[in-house]
Structure 1
């Protein structure tokens, strides 16, 4: 039986990570884990409970983020060990967090695809404004948090060309998914 794959959709706030990752997971019957949902679950909150703390406060401290990323890895490991493909959806802005995912993939001998979601800032700003009005929105990402993330984001230079796909997400979802499928077909 072929080994399952691990897909990591990452990037800055409002780049479309969650929309694309969830649609991709559904289309390919993969288990989907969203860092915002897991973070709030660990804090005993509902996914739609809005936390308006600034970066580095409350459930967004580096300690709580480390706990969240560890939970994502544990869930991914469980599913991958059951021969089930996994999609992780989180900012993975630090090399050290991405390294943990790479180590997991190596240890379990599964293929890793890291999809860096990108789009113009104007589109990100529009998405954040729209999300702020949506009572069902899970993400607490706001412009001031984006600016902090942008400052801290470590470029994924550690990822090999076989592992990294940069995906523009400012086109219609179907088009983005088609572009992703075309890029994945070129990978070994």
Structure 2
């Protein structure tokens, strides 16, 4: 249930150095853009708590993170109704963890502006800083990474090439205001996390990212 999951997240975070103040970050990027890899590096470096949509979506049905749901793109666990349930769960978990005083990063594609607005409003309602981590790379690399991920079968994401095609057709890019609060991260090769780590030391700074 949500309470036990929350306790597990906080227990994990306590293994690291507890941040001095809460903040909320969300990722933005297509499947294969390096969101989960980048946020994994961040949580190991900073002790923030990560909430993954791929994991929480499956937990709603009792599936283990690596278990296949056998859902077609846009159907089953990925239809509009279940996606809304997933984001409601992510929002509820994020709210509780933030109130406990931790930094939270929500790892999802966030291709819809309404989804991003929902979490920005959550941060504002709690009077805490908010930022977007935008991950990008060349389209060819997206395809390569997705093929490799599917072949390995060791990740909670079930997004295949057909899902990527849908995202490319339907994504809502960051607008001007969102870009002003975004860290733009090129994940083609190694990624410099220092801008995010520096911001976390003073998240109330008006400067966003670079």
Q: Same fold (TM over 0.5)?
A: yes
CA distance in 1 between counterparts of 2:147 and 2:164 reads 13
Runs of at least 4 residues off by over 3 Å: 158-162, 178-186
Q: Does 1:44 align with 2:62?
A: yes
Is the 2:132–2:178 contact (alpha carbons within 8 Å) kept by the matching residues of 1? Answer: no
Structure 2 residues without counterparts, runs of 5 or longer = 1-18
Which is further off, 46-55 or 117-126? 46-55
CA distance in 1 between counterparts of 2:115 and 2:178 reads 16
1:90 corresponds in structure 2 to 108
Task: Give the secondary structure class of the aligned counterpart of 2:193.
Answer: helix
The one of 26, 30, 49 equivalent to 1:8 is 26
The one of 74, 78, 84 equivalent to 1:66 is 84
CA deviation vs aligned residue, 1:138-164 (integer Å, no higher than 9, x gap): 110111110101111111216444421
Q: How does 1:1-188 map to 2 (within 5 A)?
A: 3-157=21-175, 159-172=177-190, 175-178=191-194, 180-181=196-197, 187=207
Number of equivalenced pairs? 186
Is the 1:165–1:183 contact (alpha carbons within 8 Å) kept by the matching residues of 2? Answer: no
Counterparts in 2 of 1:25 and 1:137: CA distance versus 1, 3 Å: same
Shift of 1:29: 0.6
Q: Comparing both chains, which one has the higher relative contact order based on Cα–Cα distances under 8 Å and sequence gaps of 6 or more?
A: 1
CA distance in 1 between counterparts of 2:72 and 2:63 reads 17
Is the 1:93–1:153 contact (alpha carbons within 8 Å) kept by the matching residues of 2? Answer: yes
Which is further off, 99-108 or 46-55? 46-55
CA distance in 1 between counterparts of 2:141 and 2:197 reads 23
Cα RMSD after superposing both structures: 2.2
Structure 1 residues without counterparts, runs of 5 or longer = none
For normalisation by structure 2, the TM-score amounts to 0.81
Is the 1:95–1:158 contact (alpha carbons within 8 Å) kept by the matching residues of 2? Answer: no
Task: Give the secondary structure class of the aligned counterpart of 2:26.
Answer: strand
Counterparts in 2 of 1:67 and 1:159: CA distance versus 1, 3 Å: farther
